[in-house]
Structure 1
Amino acid sequence: MFTKNVGSIDKILRIVIGAALILGALMGYGLWMWIGVIPLATSLLGTCPLYTILGIRTCPLNGK
């Protein structure tokens, strides 16, 4: 369906950052922190629409 363009290290970083932002939102540090849903979702899907637009890949070429 989507071409994978997010590599392993990138996925880990996105999960950590996304989870930290969501945790901050749940703790009441600000509604803007719900933006952490985006890096979390892109890491779980393995594809980033912005990477597609910019032609960036952080995973091996054979990963689809």
Structure 2
Amino acid sequence: MKTNVGGLDKIARIVIGALLIGLALTGTIGAWGWIGVIPLVTGLLNSCPLYALLGISTCKSRH
């Protein structure tokens, strides 16, 4: 997997994913909260398949 998620994008994905999962576990938002697994995993792996498909990268370029 090629790294295409970096910096603030990574932090936002992890926080939002964990928040959604936490809300699902407490029953606050129901089963839809489990969708938070996707941003959590993509943030932890630094790779987003949708970004790769669209040719997007939020990583700093190395010159």
TM-score by length of 1: 0.90
Deviating beyond 2 angstroms after TM superposition, the runs of 4 or more aligned structure 1 residues are none
**Separation in structure 1 between the aligned mates of residue 19 and residue 44 of structure 2, nearest angstrom:** 15
Corresponding letter in the other structure for 2:11: I
Alignment length (residue pairs) = 61
Aligned to 2:2: 3
Corresponding letter in the other structure for 2:38: I
CA drift of 1:34 comes to 0.2
CA drift of 1:8 comes to 1.2
Aligned to 1:32: 32
Asked whether 1:52 is paired with 2:40, we answer no
**Separation in structure 2 between the aligned mates of residue 41 and residue 6 of structure 1, nearest angstrom:** 11
**Separation in structure 2 between the aligned mates of residue 33 and residue 22 of structure 1, nearest angstrom:** 5
**Separation in structure 2 between the aligned mates of residue 37 and residue 4 of structure 1, nearest angstrom:** 18
CA drift of 1:61 comes to 2.9
**Separation in structure 1 between the aligned mates of residue 49 and residue 57 of structure 2, nearest angstrom:** 11
Once the two structures are superposed, residues 6-64 of structure 1 have per-residue CA deviations (whole angstroms, 9 ceiling, x without a partner) of: 011100000110011001100102101100000000011100000000100000234xx
